[in-house]
Structure 1
Amino acid sequence: MERLQFFAQNWPLLLRLTSEHLVLVVISTAIAALIGIPLGILLVRHPRWKDLALGIAGVLQTVPSLALFGLLIPLPLIGGIGARTATVALILYALLPIIRNTITGIEGVDRHVREAAIAMGMTPRQLLWQVELPLAMGVIMAGVRVAAVIGVGVATIAAAIGAGGLGTLIFRGLRANDDRLILAGAVPAAMMALAVDWALGRLESRLRARRPSRTFDLRAVGLAGSAALVLLLAIFSAWRFATAPTAGLTKPRLVVGSKDFTEQVILGEIIAQMLEARGVEVERRFELGGNLCHNALIAGQIDLYPEYTGTAYTAILGHPPLTDVRAVYEHVQREYLEKFDVIVGPPLGFRNDFAILVRGADARRLRLRTISDIAPYAPSWRAGFGQDFISRSDGYAGFVRAYNLRFAAPPREMDLALTYRALAAGEVDVIAGNSTDGLIAALDLVQLEDDRRYFPPYEAVMLVRRETATRIPEAREVLERLAGSISTAEMRQMNYEVDGERRSPAEVARAWRARKGF
């Protein structure tokens, strides 16, 4: 009942995200068909290129979606963050089944039928349009059908680069441990995949059953499809323009980004709202996965986003871990300006260090207070860590060396949001989370003290491109205003209000500003 009520209360958001998802799939599949079908026909006529073309398309489809999104972001014209990059990636994933089925369908036309058509005096062009394509269209549509269903699934991951769609709700639900959000994204996506598969399957069946005497003019169909695609693109462009957070005919003056976890979205909302209160037009590009925020900032796709000095020092600048808080900040401030032309704002007042977490029941039963306390139990424990913690220079490898830990098996590597759920469910016994995360209190977890001071400090700061700070002085003013304004307790409470009490980040940010007089 609660879940149905949630759907009823949030149907405008569900409708908007579903439409974004569907538009991504339809546009990318249509463009892939317009590229893949002619390319397949060309490869049938020039078979020496067939293996090479199919090999390239096959390699593109095997590249993990997040990796492909990351590779596309820095590219001019087709890159960046948002729907454009997602559309390009979806087109690349859709090409292989369309090209392969086009080749299979045309090559599968009965040799005797083809010979009879030639004997009747048909030209190669007439043979293609009046015999081969009509008879192969059922097989070709099967390829389009597969491509569309693949697109529905991959478009879910596109939310990680700010492309919108139903994946937005799934990622939010994983972060907040909220099954309602996960279902709100997963159920419509599954229904969309089934609907697309059913509709294109019916069309495929009709095309396979159509007799040659009743073949239709494929050129007319192609023209109609192209016109429909142009119309859809026009509608999509108009919709994006109508919903863009701009005034009049001007573009957003500043783009605020955030990473894909609760605290980052709250911080992004705080600075976006403070800029809007000063008359600055703001576009939000929140919930970007991995290092996409950094890449987008350097590429000029966003102007400002929250970061942590320890992450900047080790993961971005590549330095070995350093525990001196002031030295880390000064190094990051100087090198970001020199290397990236980016200004590092003053510390916001709190740190979000790596937090080694165990279940509260285990901490109370075994009297665990520090990380060193878990060493006797580690040989029988299962560890689970996020991909970021596993790969970083200040992460897993140095951590187990510093504390001489030996776990029962290699750690399970998973998405950071899922580690909290796995720990609470008893699937793992220790994880590395974030010290200000609201799920610590919501799931009754305990943070162990870093008694050997292994982890570097992760002071929260705002990064802004120097060009933006010069062009929009309000940005620098807001950064100075936020200096030292958020305590660790306040940040953890705000995270809990979102993750534990199911309030929206925008609402929580607004309430904090009101309490602070901002």
Structure 2
Amino acid sequence: MFFREYASEILLRMGEHLILVAIAMTIATAIGIPLGILITRQPKIAQPILGFANIVQTIPSLAIFGFLISVPFLGGIGVTPAIVALTLYALLPLIRNTYIGINGVDPAIREAGRGMGMTDNELLFQVEIPLALGVILAGVRVATVISVGIATIAAAIGAGGLGAFIFRGIASVNNQLILAGAIPAALIALAADFSLGWLEKQLTQHRKREEKFGRQIAVASGILIVMVLGLIVFANRPIPPTIAIGGKNFTEQFILGEILAQHIESRTKLKVDRRFNLGGTFIAHEALKAGKIDGYVEYTGTALTAILKQEPIKDPEVVYQKVKQEYDKKFNLEVMKSLGFNSTYAMLIRGEDARRLKIKTLSEAAKYTPQWQAGFWYEFLERKDGYEGLIKTYGFKFTKPPKQMELGLMYQALKEKQVDFVAANATDGLIPVLDLVILEDDKKYFPPYYAIPVFHQATLQKYPELRETINQLAGLISTKEMQKMNYQVDNQSRPVEEVAREWLKSKKL
């Protein structure tokens, strides 16, 4: 059942994953092997080059992806920064193994070659590289397997690939989705390792047969050239006018992004490039400002406090108008009409604790906080409407620092009693299923968080029909409907596309 529903998307994500790895490995091989050869000829620069490659390997992969978002030309979100990051990670084994393999050739063999009158280039291509080929190909194998694994993280910056399943599975606590990303990625890595291992064995086993060696090299080079040409043709194929719709890294954002995408595709001649699962508010906002995406759904309170860095305001209309004016003035972004529901923060505890302690509000919970372990997602700890303001407003006194984790993991951590108090969204479908209780914000600390599509003004000018199309969705999604859709994805494991399509049909859209 699960495979039938997700088969086409699994194949699509596998294709995206393979393209990312193939392009990155082609570039890394074209850079790494010549660099490895160069430092065998210029030993003085060997340590700086190997040192740089080593430093790149020690940087956490997610940090590299995050850093590249703000880098001009090669950065931002999508495929380009993902390929840059994967290329950087693949360099060390390629450079090091080429360097070690060539330097490991017996000096007596080199001397014999020179004695026969060989030039340095002849010695390199006819003696050293054939003898070092096994070690060089071992480096290619290692680099490929590393790239396949790290490519799963590329989904965090909208580059697609099998990581999209893994992040969605984490967000919805759905092991099937996680495995739908992890198993194909593991199979790709194993297949790549086996294939390159076989090629390494064939080439090294017969290296003394010059004719066969040359033929195999020619075949391998031909396959590589065909792959690169195929990727270039695929990247430059004619496509209809396309806009990119983004989304943050949790279920509700996947659904809202898909509703926007399907509605735009059904009412206009535009195709939509779905760039969901962006790492969070700031990544999505920066991607929109930079024109890497054309629009996404934000929340009024988030825009006011996290993006505009202003103090929370309680009046929903005042918040909306302020955000609309500031986005227009500061960012050249247009805030569209609200979709209708308020996705406010929900401070959650276990149902059994709420009943045992007889607490319903955050004020009543304050006296129990010294015994509780809090758990919050990273963004909540940094925002003006987040952790610091919350503990001041209610006088919370947590004796332990809060645990930091992904939003999707908090529900499971709360259920399994690893944490006792978390921040989530009131529309999340997992709340009733896991018997969690929302504590009332009785001091009205949190501002309103109405869902608002935000689009780049340049896109709306280029495609004027978009504005009317998007505003057709204004006010149509209720809080209960949003919670129901989240529930269908998170708990019934229904595909996001199907849930979005069903809701649009229910509204005759």
**C-alpha deviation, 1:151, in angstroms:** 0.6
The alpha-carbon distance between structure 1 residues 362 and 36, as it changes in their structure 2 partners (threshold 3 A), is same
Out of 345-354 and 93-102, give the one that drifted further: 345-354
For residues 315-334 of structure 1, the aligned pairs below 5 Å read 315-334=306-325
For residues 464-483 of structure 1, the aligned pairs below 5 Å read 464-483=455-474
The one-letter amino acid paired with 1:287 is: N
**C-alpha deviation, 1:328, in angstroms:** 2.7
* Kept after mapping to 2: 8 A contact 1:37/1:99: yes
Out of 445-454 and 35-44, give the one that drifted further: 445-454
For residues 419-430 of structure 1, the aligned pairs below 5 Å read 419-430=410-421
TM-score (norm 2): 0.92
For residues 164-175 of structure 1, the aligned pairs below 5 Å read 164-175=160-171
Per-residue CA distance 1:451-491 (angstroms, 9 max, x = gap): 23322322211101111222222221134333322222221
* Kept after mapping to 2: 8 A contact 1:370/1:451: yes
2:371 and 2:210 map into 1 onto residues whose CA distance is: 69
1:54 and 1:312 map into 2 onto residues whose CA distance is: 44
Indicate the residue corresponding to 1:287 in structure 2: 277
For residues 443-482 of structure 1, the aligned pairs below 5 Å read 443-482=434-473
**C-alpha deviation, 1:236, in angstroms:** 3.6
| 1:345 counterpart = 2:336 | yes
Identity of aligned residues (%): 51
Indicate the residue corresponding to 1:262 in structure 2: 251
Indicate the residue corresponding to 1:141 in structure 2: 137
Which of the residues 365, 383, 387 maps onto 1:392? 383
2:124 and 2:76 map into 1 onto residues whose CA distance is: 39
Indicate the residue corresponding to 1:50 in structure 2: 46
* Kept after mapping to 1: 8 A contact 2:346/2:423: yes
The alpha-carbon distance between structure 1 residues 256 and 10, as it changes in their structure 2 partners (threshold 3 A), is closer
Indicate the residue corresponding to 2:241 in structure 1: 252
**C-alpha deviation, 1:301, in angstroms:** 1.9
The one-letter amino acid paired with 2:276 is: F
- Secondary structure of the residue aligned to 2:256 is helix
The alpha-carbon distance between structure 1 residues 312 and 344, as it changes in their structure 2 partners (threshold 3 A), is same
Per-residue CA distance 1:252-303 (angstroms, 9 max, x = gap): 3422222222111221222222222322313122222223322221121221
| 1:97 counterpart = 2:109 | no
Per-residue CA distance 1:106-147 (angstroms, 9 max, x = gap): 122222222222222211001111121112111111211111
* Kept after mapping to 2: 8 A contact 1:134/1:216: no
| 1:440 counterpart = 2:431 | yes
**C-alpha deviation, 1:60, in angstroms:** 2.7
For residues 130-279 of structure 1, the aligned pairs below 5 Å read 130-207=126-203, 213-214=208-209, 224-237=219-232, 249-279=238-268
**C-alpha deviation, 1:241, in angstroms:** 7.0
2:375 and 2:382 map into 1 onto residues whose CA distance is: 13
TM-score (norm 1): 0.91
| 1:128 counterpart = 2:128 | no
Per-residue CA distance 1:351-370 (angstroms, 9 max, x = gap): 21221111122222222211
Indicate the residue corresponding to 2:83 in structure 1: 87
The one-letter amino acid paired with 2:67 is: L
The one-letter amino acid paired with 1:265 is: F
| 1:516 counterpart = 2:507 | yes
Indicate the residue corresponding to 1:245 in structure 2: none
The alpha-carbon distance between structure 1 residues 508 and 8, as it changes in their structure 2 partners (threshold 3 A), is closer
Indicate the residue corresponding to 2:301 in structure 1: 310
**C-alpha deviation, 1:206, in angstroms:** 4.9
Out of 63-72 and 343-352, give the one that drifted further: 63-72
2:382 and 2:211 map into 1 onto residues whose CA distance is: 57
List gaps (5 residues or longer) in structure 1.
Answer: 243-248
- Secondary structure of the residue aligned to 1:476 is helix
The one-letter amino acid paired with 2:225 is: V
The one-letter amino acid paired with 2:506 is: R
2:9 and 2:475 map into 1 onto residues whose CA distance is: 35
**C-alpha deviation, 1:210, in angstroms:** 5.1
Indicate the residue corresponding to 1:31 in structure 2: 27
For residues 70-81 of structure 1, the aligned pairs below 5 Å read 70-75=66-71, 77-81=73-77
The alpha-carbon distance between structure 1 residues 210 and 390, as it changes in their structure 2 partners (threshold 3 A), is farther
- Secondary structure of the residue aligned to 1:456 is coil
The alpha-carbon distance between structure 1 residues 349 and 205, as it changes in their structure 2 partners (threshold 3 A), is same
* Kept after mapping to 2: 8 A contact 1:82/1:163: yes
1:361 and 1:510 map into 2 onto residues whose CA distance is: 37
* Kept after mapping to 1: 8 A contact 2:156/2:278: yes
Per-residue CA distance 1:136-184 (angstroms, 9 max, x = gap): 1111112111111111111111122222221111112122222111112
Out of 338-347 and 226-235, give the one that drifted further: 226-235
**C-alpha deviation, 1:495, in angstroms:** 1.4
Which of the residues 92, 99, 106 maps onto 2:102? 106
- Secondary structure of the residue aligned to 1:447 is strand
2:267 and 2:218 map into 1 onto residues whose CA distance is: 50
**C-alpha deviation, 1:65, in angstroms:** 2.7
Pairwise CA RMSD of aligned residues?
2.4
The alpha-carbon distance between structure 1 residues 451 and 216, as it changes in their structure 2 partners (threshold 3 A), is farther
| 1:371 counterpart = 2:362 | yes
List gaps (5 residues or longer) in structure 2.
Answer: none
Per-residue CA distance 1:317-346 (angstroms, 9 max, x = gap): 233444443333233212211121101112
The alpha-carbon distance between structure 1 residues 274 and 338, as it changes in their structure 2 partners (threshold 3 A), is same
The one-letter amino acid paired with 2:390 is: F
* Kept after mapping to 2: 8 A contact 1:74/1:299: no
The alpha-carbon distance between structure 1 residues 208 and 512, as it changes in their structure 2 partners (threshold 3 A), is same
How many residues in Structure 1 have an aligned counterpart in Structure 2? Answer: 507
**C-alpha deviation, 1:418, in angstroms:** 0.9
* Kept after mapping to 2: 8 A contact 1:170/1:185: yes
**C-alpha deviation, 1:74, in angstroms:** 5.0
The one-letter amino acid paired with 1:28 is: A
Per-residue CA distance 1:356-398 (angstroms, 9 max, x = gap): 1111222222222112222232222222211111232322233
**C-alpha deviation, 1:199, in angstroms:** 3.0
* Kept after mapping to 1: 8 A contact 2:248/2:279: yes
1:118 and 1:214 map into 2 onto residues whose CA distance is: 21
Which of the residues 489, 497, 500 maps onto 1:506? 497
